[in-house]
Amino acid sequence: MLQIAVCDDNIDELSNMVQLINQYKASKNISCEYAVFSNGFELVSALEKGKRFDIYCLDIIMPGFTGIDVAKEIRGFDKTTPILFFTSSPEFALESYSVKAINYVLKPITKEKLFFTFDEILEQLKEKKEEDAIVVKSTEGIQKILISNLAFAEVIGRNVLYHLRSGKVIECTESFSSVCETLLKYGCFIKPHRSYIVNMQYIDTINNHQLTLQTLSSIPIAQGKAKEIKEHYLNYQMEGE
């Protein structure tokens, strides 16, 4: 599910943005949530508490803590998430690029402007998602594995085996705990057993003892963990709708 932050000290502008986002959400049939902030301090406070968003929509001219200041805070922990500036003045355009803003839109914000800009952002997010990959050092050398091609990984002894959807298996000698830590960040992986981590997009069926993948592989589920796995998978499917 797409998470959007909107920050503007003008209540009317915030209301307008919310209406436009709701229109965009309905017309494009996408799943998204948004949070509104009436000043930069509120947004930064949410970030400090661990809240994260997929898109940041920021007004630049705000008292005390400008949109540029907020963007610098965001870039302190996230170098790539799209930041979109809305402002009534073009004078900050150059400065907006210093924080790698994806776009700079002059107010008033119209339906046409917002729809066009969001279309561009979502296309870039889609491309980025499709390009997600990990690089591993296998017995055959350095290899790049696209996340979208990885069905599951398992550990046998000291070796980690990456099973691709094509049936190919890439074998590496590395820590399985670090592999799991890396893969779980992508949100599409689940760990049903201490020796396996599975890409949920390849799950076909789940029972109380095992997962069956679309690749026909069977993955055991640890005792007492079936309910948790089923709930996690259901949430994953619902978020993707």
DSSP-assigned letters across all residues of 204-237? EEE-SSEEEETTS-EEE--TT-HHHHHHHHHHHH
Task: Please give the CATH superfamily to which domain 2-130 belongs.
Answer: Response regulator (3.40.50.2300)
| pLDDT, the chain, mean | 90
Where do the structural domains in the chain lie, given as residue ranges?
2-130, 133-239
- Cis previous bond, 108, omega within 30: yes
Closest by CA position to 145, among listed 128, 127, 164: 164
Share of the chain above pLDDT 90, in %: 67
Helix (H, G, I), strand (E, B) or coil at 123: helix
Report whether pLDDT(3) > 80: yes
Cβ burial, residue 6 (10 Å; 0-12/13-18/19+): buried
pLDDT tens, 77-96?
777 789 999 988 777 766 77
Overall average pLDDT of the 149-154 stretch: 95
pLDDT tens, 169-190?
999 999 999 999 999 988 899 9
Q: Between the CA of residue 148 and those of 76, 138, 202, what are the distances in Å?
A: 28, 19, 10
Closest by CA position to 221, among listed 195, 202, 240, 241: 195
Distance between CA 8 and CA 50 in Å, rounded? Answer: 21
Which residues are 185's β-sheet partners? Answer: none
Task: Please give the CATH superfamily to which domain 133-239 belongs.
Answer: LytTr DNA-binding domain (2.40.50.1020)
Instruction: Name the token pair of 71.
Output: 């963007």
**What pLDDT is recorded for position 166?**
87
Task: Please report how many Cα atoms fall inside a 13 Å half-sphere around the Cα of residue 174, on the Cβ side.
Answer: 20
Same fold, 2-130 and 133-239: no
Helix (H, G, I), strand (E, B) or coil at 75: helix
pLDDT tens, 26-41?
999 998 999 999 999 9
Helix (H, G, I), strand (E, B) or coil at 105: strand
**What pLDDT is recorded for position 117?**
94
Distance between CA 222 and CA 166 in Å, rounded? Answer: 26
**What pLDDT is recorded for position 241?**
46
